[in-house]
A and B are shown apart, each in its own frame.
Chain A
Amino acid sequence: MTTVMNQPTAEPGAHGVAQARGLFDGPIMRQALKDSLTKLDPRLQVKNPVMFVVLVGSVISLFEAFAHPSTFTWSITIWLFLTVIFANFAEAMAEGRGKAQAETLRKMRSETEARRLRPDGTEELVPAASLSKGDLVVCEVNDVIPSDGEIVEGIASVDESAITGESAPVIRESGGDRSAVTGGTKVLSDRIVVRITAERGHTFIDRMISLVEGANRQKTPNEIALTILLAVLTIVFIPVVVTLVPFANFAHGSVSVVVLVALLVCLIPTTIGALLSAIGIAGMDRLVQRNVLAMSGRAVEAAGDVQTLLLDKTGTITLGNRMASNFYPVVGHSEQEVADVAQLASLADETPEGRSIVVLAKELFDIRGRSLEADHVFVPFTATTRMSGLDMGERQIRKGAGESVKRWVSELGGTPPSDLDEIVERVSRAGSTPLVVADGAVILGVIELKDVVKQGIREKFDEMRQLGIRTVMITGDNPLTAAAIAQEAGVDDFLAEATPEAKMALIKKEQEGGKLVAMTGDGTNDAPALAQADVGVAMNTGTTAAKEAGNMVDLDSNPTKLLDIVEIGKQLLITRGSLTTFSIANDIAKYFAIIPALFVVAYPQLHSLNIMRLHSPESAVLSAVIFNALVIVALIPLALRGVKFRAANSAAILRRNVLIYGVGGIIIPFIFIKLIDLVLVALHAY
C-alpha cells in the first residue's frame, strides 16, 4: 500500500479547482480519521443497509462481550467495530478530497462590493450578496466580477485562472458566444457592463462547491440498483445465520452469538458495501481532477453508456488552425508566381492561416517576408466579401473563397481560367480548404489550406470503436472536405454543412434507435442539442445558455475531453462491478474458516472442512473477521482511483475482471486468512 501513497493522481498541468493531491494527503487523512468516528451515527449508517447490519452486529457483539468477557469476544467485537470504521474512513477519504477543493473555492467567493447601475445611469455601491437577477453592474480594471452574468456592453480581458487554472487571460465581449462571465473572476482591462443572471447562492461557484463537496449527491441509477442487490444479499444471509441456532439445537449443540454475528458480517457483502459510496464520490472527483464539472452523477454514468459521440471537427479532431500546405498554379502560371502573390496578399494578414502562407512561401521558394510600404492598404476579410488582400496603389491582390474571387475578377473584366474549378474541387476533396489567389483581373492559382488532424486522435477513435462507440464528426465544411478529414481522422461517420437543426435531427435519430448520445458544444445555438443529448459537455468559454443546457462543463474548454469522460464513466461502473464480484467470491473461503469452527462441539467430524488447517476455532473465526475488515482498507486506493481501465472489447474486459476479481476473490482470502491465523498464533493470541 505504501507504494501508492503520495502519488499525484491528477493529470500534469491540471490546477485551479482541481489541485493535484496525493491519494493519501496528510490533512485529508487526519480529517477522514476524525470523520470516520462521527459517521458511526446510526442515522447516517442506516442509509447503507450493509454497513448498518454490521453496526447492529457490532453492538450485539459488544453486549455479549460484556456478558461473557473473554479475549475472543472482545477481539471479535473490536474488529467488527473496526469494519464499520474502515468503511466510514473510505467514505471520509473520498469526501475529504472534495471538501478541500470546496475550501479553495469558498476563499475565492470573497464578499466583494458591486457597482450597481441605477436606472438613471448613476452607480451605487452595494454588497455583492444583495444583487439579484437582472441587475446591471459595472466592472473595470482589477474589479472582481461579483456574480455570474452576461456582458451587455463593452469588451474586456478577464483572468479566469481561479476557476480554470489557466493563467492566460481570456477575452469576453458583449453579444455573440463569448459574453458570459463568471462571478469570482477578475477583469484585467477595459470596462464592461454585466447583467446578473444568477441569484445569490446559485452561481457557478456555488454549484461547483456543492458538487465537489458531494453535498447533494444523488445516487445514480446503477448505484441504486447495486444497492438493492447488496440489500438482497444481506437480507438473505440473515435467515441463513439466524436459523443456525435452531439447527444447532437440534444437533444438541449450541452456537455462540458472537460467532454467529461474525459469520453474518463475513457473509454479507461488506467489502463493496463499505466502498460503494467512496467509489461514487471518487468518480466525480476524478472528473474534477480533469477540470470537468458534472452537474449530476447520472450524467457521468450515462457517459459510460454512450454509444454515439458527436465531435466538432475544429478543436477536437483537427487543430483549430488550418495551415497552408501547397500552391497550385492555373495553366499559364508557375507555382512560384502563386506563392509570391499569395505571400503579398497575406503580409498584413495576422490570422494563423495568413501567417502560415507567408511561412510556406518562404520555405518553398525562399521568398523573404517583405515589409509593407506606406501606400499598402490591407483589405481585411469580411463575411460579405469573403476575401482579404492588399491594395498596393493601383495593384489589387486578393485571396479568398473560389466563388467570391471569381465574381470579383469578372467584375474587373477578367475571365476565370478553365482549369480553376477542377483544382478547387481536387483540393476540397482532399479535405483541405482552397483559397483562390488573384492579381487584379488575373487568377494565378490556388492555395491549399490543410486541416491538421490532431496527433493520436485516430488511435483514440480506434479505442472507442473497440468499446462499441461510434464517432461522428460534425463540421460546417462541405461534404467533400468533410469526407476526406473523416477518412484521415478515422471517425465512423460525419455530418457536413452542419446546422444546429441538422445536429439536433441527428441526435434525435440516434436516440430513436435507443442509443445514448454525447456531444460537446459552446455556442448558444448548440444549447438545444446539448440539452437533447444524453451527455452534453459545454465548454467553459461558451455562453451561459450552452452551459445551462449541458450536464457537464469542461473548464479547460477542450472538446477532446469527451473521450476521457466516457472512460471515467465506464471505470466507475467497472470498479463497482468488480468489487461486488470480489466481495461475493470472498464468502467461500470464509465459510470454510467459520463453519467447522461453529459446530466443532456438536460435530467434530466437520473439522475435515477446515481445509486451511487453521489453528483453533477461535483463531479461525477471528482471522476471517480480521481479513474482512482489513480488505476494506487495502482496497481504499483501488476504490478512490478506480480499477485499471483499458480500452478493449467487452469480452476481453470482462474476462480480465472476472479473472482478477472473481477467481482472485475466491483464492486471495484463503491465503490471507491462513496468514492472519499464523500471525495470531505467532503472537500467542491463541
Chain B
Amino acid sequence: MGFFLTILTLVVTLGLAWRYLGSYMAAVFEGRVHFLGFVERPIYRMLGTSPEQEQTWKRYAGAMIIFSAVSIAFTYVILRIQGSLPFNPQHFGAVGPALSFNTATSFVTNTNWQNYGGETSMSYFSQMGALTVQQFVSAAVGIAAAIVLVRGFSRRKSPTIGNFWVDITRCLFYVLLPISFIAGIVLVGQGAVDTLAGTTTFHDALNGVTQTIARGPAGFMGSIMQLGTNGGGFFNVDLAHPLENPTGLTNLLYIWLTLSIPFALTYTFGKMVGSIRHGVALLAVMVIIFGVWVGFTANAEHQNNPAVAAAHVYSPVGNMEGKEVRFGDTTSALFNVSMTQTSDGAVDSATDSFNPMGGFGPLSGMMLGEVTPGGTGSGLYTLLIYAIIAVFIGGLMIGRTPEFLGKKIQAREIKLAGLGALVMPITVLVLTGLAVSLAVGRAGPLNVGPHGFSEILYGLTSQGNNNGSAMAGLTGNTSFYNIIGAIDMLIGRFGIMIPALALGGVLAAKDVVPESLGTFRTDNGMFVGLTIGVILIIGGLTFFPAVSLGPIVEQLSHLRFF
C-alpha cells in the first residue's frame, strides 16, 4: 500500500513538474524570463558576450569543451591542495593524483562516480567549492546541450544554435539554483545535517561506547546532487545515510528532484518545437520503459534472497539485506532504478546486495543508455539520438525520405546519431574486456565468477554512462580503475554530447518539409513503439552476451528466475 501511495504521489507531483517546470524552462531558454537580469548582465559583460551573440554548433561545442577542461583542472587542483585550504576542520591532506583526476572527471562529466569516502577524505571546501560547484554546472552543461538539439528542430535555416555562456548562466540562475535552494531548506527541515562545524562525538552511556559522527554541509549538497542527476553524496554510503536522507519524505523528495528535470525537458521540447504532442510522445517512451523497470526490479526485490532462502530463512518483506528499514524493499528498488534510469547513480540501499535479477534492473537501465528519463539534458539528447534512428527506419518503411519534425534525416544525421548511439556500448565493452584481461583489473572485484564479472561490468557501465552508481564490491581506488574510469567517463560524456551538438547544428541549418498525410508521424503510438524498440534492441543486442555472463548466469545458477 505504502509503495502505491509513493508511486501515486510521484506521478502527481512529477506531472505538475512536467507541465509547469517544462514550460518554464522553455521560457528560460527562449530568453523570455528576465527577473534576474541584474545578475545575468554583469556576467555576460565579464565573459564578453551577450544573448544576441549566437554561436555556430562548432563554437558552442568549443566553448563547452574549454569550460569542461577548465572545470576538470580547477577541481583537480582544489583536491590536490585541500590541505592548505580553509574549511578543513578534520585536517584532511591532499587527495592522491589518480583519485583526484578520477574525481574531477567524475564530477565534471555529471557522473559522480566516487572512489573515495566523502566524510573521510574530502574537506568541506572540496565538497562545496569543487564538487558541489560541478554538480551545478555539469547539470547546466547537459541541459544546454539538450536545448541545442531541441533548437535544431525548432529553428529553420539557422546557422547558429544559441550561446553556450548565456545558456548555462540562465540554466544556473533561473532553474537549478532556485529549485535546489528551496529543496535544500526542506531537506534540512526534515533533519538532514548541514553544518561546517566538523565531526561530533557521541557517548553512548548505556553501552559504554564513544562514537564519532561525521557531519558537514550535506543537506544542500543533497538537493543539487539529485536535481542535477549527479548522485555523488557527501557521505560514503550516499543517501542511505540517515543524516543526509533522514525520512521517507526526504527519500521521496530525492526521487522527485532526480526525475523532475529529465521528465520535464520533454515538455520543454514539445513547447519549443511547437507541438506538445511530440513532447508527450517522448515522455511516453520514458514512462513506459521506466515503469516496466521499476515494476520488474521492485518485484525482484520483493522476493526472498535465494542465498538466504537456501538456509531456510524466509523473510515476509522481501530481500532486506543491504536495505534501510525506513525505506523498505520496493521503495529501495524504486529509488535505485530511478537513479540508474537517470544518470544520477545515488543509492539508498546496496545494489550489490540486491537479488541477481534485482541487480539486473539498475544495471540494464544504464545499458539502455539512460534515456528513460536519463540525466539532466543528457537523457533528452540521447533519447533524441535513438529517436532519429527510429524515425529513419520507420520513415523508410513508409516510402519517404525520413523526416523528424519536418527535418530530413539523411546521411549526416545518421552518421552523427549512429556515432552517438555506438560510442557508449563500444567504450564500456572494450574497457571491461581490458579490465578482465589484466591482473590489475582482475584484482578489483571482491567476488569471483559471474558476480565478480558483474561488479566490473557494472562499474564501467556506470562510468561510461556518467551514472556513478556503484554496485560496491569493486575496489575502484586503484590507479588502474581511476584512470580507465576517467577515460570511460570522458568518452561517455563527450562522445555523445558532441555528436548531439553537431546534430543540433546540422538540423537547425535545414529547412522544414511541410507535413502531409504521407509523413511518418512522430507523435503517435507507433513512433513511441518504434523508439522503444530501437532503445531495447540497441541496448539489448550489444549487452546481451555480457549480461548473460554476469547476472543471467548468476540467476540461472539458482536454477530459476525468481
Contacts and interface: CB of A to CB of B under 8 A. Distances in A.
**A interacts with B:** yes
Interface of A: 221-222, 224-226, 228-229, 231-232, 235-237, 239-251, 267, 301, 304-305, 307, 465-470, 513-515, 569-574, 576-578, 580-581, 584-585, 587-588, 591, 595, 598-599, 603, 605-606, 608-609, 645, 649-651, 653-655, 657-658, 661-662
A493 B450 CA distance: 68
B415 interface: yes
B401 A645 contact: no
Interface stretch (B8-16, B42-50, B373-381, B404-412): B404-412
A573 B418 contact: no
B516 A574 contact: no
A649 B517 contact: yes
B77 interface: no
Given A239-B429, A605-B556, A657-B397, A229 B414 contact: yes
Given A239-B426, A650-B517, A658-B530, A605 B400 contact: no
Interface in B383-405: 389, 392-401
5 contacts: A237-B542, A250-B453, A609-B552, A650-B518, A653-B398
A574 B435 CA distance: 44
Contact of A225 (B392, B425, B540, B544): B392
A226 B453 contact: no
B433 A304 contact: no
Nearest to A591: B544
A671 B519 CA distance: 35
Given A514-B514, A657-B397, A267 B411 contact: no
Contact of B450 (A228, A251, A576, A654): A251
A241 B430 CA distance: 10
B549 interface: yes
A662 B400 contact: no
Nearest to A467: B518
Contacts of B392: 225-226, 229
B513 interface: yes
Given A304-B400, A570-B400, A574-B398, A599 B548 contact: yes
Nearest to B413: A225
Given A228-B411, A655-B526, A247 B433 contact: yes
B316 interface: no
Interface residues of B, number: 66
A578 B398 CA distance: 9
Nearest to A267: B541
Given A599-B549, A603-B549, A573 B433 contact: no
Nearest to B556: A605
A577 B400 CA distance: 10
Contacts of B419: 232
Given A222-B401, A246-B433, A606-B553, A465 B544 contact: no
B212 interface: no
B436 A305 contact: no
Contacts of A240: 425, 429, 541-542, 545-546
Contact of B397 (A241, A243, A470, A577): A577
A609 B433 contact: no
Interface in B7-29: none
B410 A584 contact: no
B511 interface: yes
B453 A467 contact: no
The list of the 8 closest CB pairs from A to B, nearest first, reads: A577-B396, A468-B518, A570-B399, A468-B516, A232-B418, A468-B517, A243-B433, A577-B397
A228 B517 contact: no
Nearest to B427: A239
Nearest to B399: A570
Contact of A651 (B437, B452, B524): B524
A226 B526 contact: no
A95 to B, nearest CB: 23
A548 B131 CA distance: 67
Given A232-B418, A514-B513, A650-B517, A247 B546 contact: yes
Contacts of B520: 650, 654
Contacts of B436: 246-247, 249-250
Contacts of A242: 433
B449 interface: yes
B421 interface: yes
Contact of A466 (B400, B517, B521, B537): B517
Given A229-B392, A573-B399, 15 more contacts: A225-B392, A229-B414, A244-B545, A250-B453, A251-B549, A571-B399, A573-B400, A577-B395, A578-B396, A580-B396, A591-B541, A599-B553, A609-B556, A649-B518, A658-B526
Given A240-B542, A242-B433, A468-B518, A229 B418 contact: yes
A interface majority secondary structure:
helix
A470 to B, nearest CB: 8
B393 A243 contact: no
Nearest to A570: B399
B229 to A, nearest CB: 26
Contacts of A577: 393-399
B133 interface: no
B422 interface: yes
A224 B411 contact: yes
B174 to A, nearest CB: 34
B546 A603 contact: no
A608 B541 CA distance: 18
A229 B393 CA distance: 9
Contacts of A658: 394, 397, 526, 529-530
B53 interface: no
Contacts of A469: 516, 518
Given A242-B433, A247-B545, A304-B400, A514 B414 contact: no
B512 interface: yes
A517 B432 CA distance: 52
A308 to B, nearest CB: 10
B437 A246 contact: yes
Contact of B537 (A235, A247, A584, A653): A584
The CB with the most chain B CB atoms within 10 A, among A248, A588, A651, is that of A651
A305 B401 contact: yes
Given A513-B514, A577-B395, A606 B541 contact: no
A244 B552 CA distance: 15
B210 interface: no
B549 A236 contact: no
Interface string B439-482: 00010000001101100000000000000000000000000000
Contacts of B530: 658
A581 B556 contact: no
A580 B398 contact: no
A572 B399 CA distance: 7
B557 interface: yes
Given A514-B514, A573-B400, A650-B518, A605 B557 contact: yes
B414 A236 contact: no
A225 B514 CA distance: 21
A465 B517 contact: yes
B533 interface: yes
A603 B538 CA distance: 25
Contacts of B540: 588
A236 B422 contact: yes
Contact of A249 (B437, B533, B559): B437
Contact of B521 (A228, A650, A662): A650
Nearest to A567: B399
B556 A514 contact: no
Contacts of A226: 392, 396, 414
A304 B516 CA distance: 13
A53 B238 CA distance: 46
A588 B452 CA distance: 27
Contacts of B533: 662
A584 B537 CA distance: 8
Contacts of B513: 307, 514-515
Given A239-B430, A240-B429, A469-B518, A606 B552 contact: yes
A228 B418 contact: yes
Nearest to A464: B518
